Chains A and B, each alone.
Chain A
């Protein structure tokens, strides 16, 4: 399983992470390491802790880490604010992107992009320069310019919301992107657009974690590793064919692994 990629330093290291919300343990010792250029898929039943893992990596305030560490580019980020994580290059693509009434999508994208650029010591973009940049990125997700003048995600269809997430990823150029069920609720065409967008944005320096229930996204974006989660733990890790096996045999098949451990 050792690949050539691992000669470089890891982007993300999750070490024996346990976390809870309202004193209810959700994660019970998760470990996961992502190197540059790698694509990891995390699969598992609803409620197994996949989404929680993604939110904790992004710094959601509702969860508290009870044990273990999250390291990003070698630095412990356990206590960083969500905005600091984003600025330094962690991106979470939401399963259910949030609607923000009255806030224009264009302004939101610009403020967000500039926060990241500031961190990277790049010049912040004014409205005109940003228009240029965003035009180019809209191509990637095949979105119409009209999306920009609407309020953030408000009245967007499921597919439009997901494409808006990928647009944000394209603008922020993260080091690691965690995409939480980005494929859910998409028709085949939208899925292809989203998948090709993700591929265009990622490169040999970036890492990707795909959280998904379905094989069809993994047909478009082939993962290097597949992890199966159950009850707050990663119970099995394999290569891309594990996902196929899982699709064929169902999650019941994975229950055996739990019994073994």
Chain B
């Protein structure tokens, strides 16, 4: 057990991204009904098929029940007390970044995501989403030269309706689950990526999601399509201001990989987690799923989940194509009164499919951290293999960790391997490092990053360093 006093002495670092941008916004009235959905669709000038998609989803949602099987406790969400569309007021049509409200550019600057031509990140194309709308997408022309489409999903609806109609809802059907249905009915913006046949995307693509207003939910939708023999690495970051109310975030992400295509999807989730007493913070209910449709296709999820009051998230892979590969690498850190119920589903449908799951849960404070995963071998998944490893690290004696692995096999000629472990940072380990001149906090963060190394190795370089720092920051003052 770690020395309590020592722990309390450690300086607390506040949430760095908790500021609110003071900007005039256009909000619709609170509540959810068909008229609201029609209004959202109208504001976005959507084609008929999309409005129908939304209305169908809404009908289904009304008949569904909020799931209660997760190991999470939170006060009931009043879906009529949420604003479903909120956008910063700006000119009707923006043709260049110069016309974007400087306050918005400043906001993303402060978040470390500069968007302007002079300052923008040189090796990553960014789509910046502020509340319900996409503000800007960098490097679009450069990407277009390679035939890569990277834009907000609203623009994609306008400019590439055929692709949207063909793929939207094919991985996560609108009736998939309660939160996916809600998202399908009211989604406002998000990113769209299309990589044409044979193209290796020349740079990493990234979306940055910023929640700014306290009373509106964020419902973004991301769709990534990788055609035959193409590949892309996509990164996602998220932050929100500190409010003492809870904000609902219910996103849907769909990935589609055709023959020999590969998609790598990395997330660093740092939504506001609420304060030490558990007041405020984001309720994060997200459905992320990838479909390995093609032969030898590959979808790899890596996530570092550090924020949100509640996290409910299971990035999954449907392995249809012969010899397709699904991967899930996850670090979930909870502190104070945070709760996370996260994991993955690997559904092996095609023969000789392969999946790997590496999950690292770190629980500190009074938090609760659960891994929940399903590995399923279908009747045709002959010669398929799964390897799962779920490790939990407890910091202090008030935190809890659970592992819920579900295994279903209908194919005797397949292999499923599951390993799990739980460890605790011991006072002896801390003393050993300290007695070698290494300071208490650095000692803790060395051990935590050591614990997470298998996952960090999977993250893109800059992301890995950022994740490392983020974990250290999150643990400051909380190691007890």
* Segment of A70-78, A97-105, A133-141, A184-192 in the binding face: A97-105
| Interface pair A101/B423, CB less than 8 Å apart | yes
Tell me which of B6, B426, B434, B447 contacts A102 (CB under 8 A). Answer: B447
| Interface pair B447/A83, CB less than 8 Å apart | no
A94 at the interface (CB under 8 A from B): yes
Residue of A with least CB distance to B423: A101
| Interface pair A115/B437, CB less than 8 Å apart | yes
| Interface pair B437/A83, CB less than 8 Å apart | yes
Q: How far is the CA of A83 from the CA of B6 in the complex (A)?
A: 13
Beyond A61-B6, A108-B446, A111-B442, is A98–B428 a contact (Cβ under 8 Å)? Answer: yes
A58 at the interface (CB under 8 A from B): yes
| Interface pair B427/A116, CB less than 8 Å apart | no
Encoded as 1 (CB less than 8 Å from any B CB) or 0, chain A from 53 to 79 comes to 000001111100000000000000000
Q: How far is the CA of A107 from the CA of B423 in the complex (A)?
A: 22
| Interface pair A100/B447, CB less than 8 Å apart | yes
Q: How far is the CA of A97 from the CA of B453 in the complex (A)?
A: 22
Q: Which residues of B have CB within 8 Å of A103?
A: 446-447, 449-450
B113 at the interface (CB under 8 A from A): no
Size of the B side of the interface (Cβ < 8 Å), in residues, is 25
B71 CB to closest chain A CB (Å) equals 26
B3 at the interface (CB under 8 A from A): yes
Beyond A101-B450, A111-B446, is A61–B427 a contact (Cβ under 8 Å)? Answer: yes
B63 at the interface (CB under 8 A from A): no
B17 at the interface (CB under 8 A from A): no
Report whether over half of chain B's contact residues are helix, strand or loop; otherwise say mixed: helix
B431 at the interface (CB under 8 A from A): yes
Residue of A with least CB distance to B442: A111
Q: Which residues of A have CB within 8 Å of B452?
A: 102
| Interface pair A61/B437, CB less than 8 Å apart | no
B199 at the interface (CB under 8 A from A): no
Size of the A side of the interface (Cβ < 8 Å), in residues, is 30
Q: Which residues of B have CB within 8 Å of A82?
A: 431, 434-435
| Interface pair A115/B451, CB less than 8 Å apart | no
| Interface pair B429/A100, CB less than 8 Å apart | yes
Beyond A98-B428, A98-B429, A111-B442, is A59–B450 a contact (Cβ under 8 Å)? Answer: no
A187 CB to closest chain B CB (Å) equals 24
Q: How far is the CA of A61 from the CA of B446 in the complex (A)?
A: 20
| Interface pair B432/A94, CB less than 8 Å apart | yes
Residue of A with least CB distance to B6: A61
A28 CB to closest chain B CB (Å) equals 23
Interface residues of A in 150-176 (CB under 8 A from B): 151, 168, 172
B374 at the interface (CB under 8 A from A): no
Beyond A83-B434, A100-B433, is A151–B439 a contact (Cβ under 8 Å)? Answer: no
A247 at the interface (CB under 8 A from B): no
Q: Which residues of B have CB within 8 Å of A81?
A: 434, 439-440
A86 at the interface (CB under 8 A from B): yes
| Interface pair B438/A61, CB less than 8 Å apart | no
Q: How far is the CA of A101 from the CA of B452 in the complex (A)?
A: 10
A residues neighboring B (CB under 8 Å): 58-62, 81-83, 85-87, 92, 94, 97-98, 100-104, 107-108, 111-112, 115-116, 119, 151, 168, 172
Q: Across chains A and B, which 6 residue pairs bring their CB atoms closest together, nearest first? A: A102-B450, A115-B437, A103-B450, A86-B437, A82-B434, A112-B436
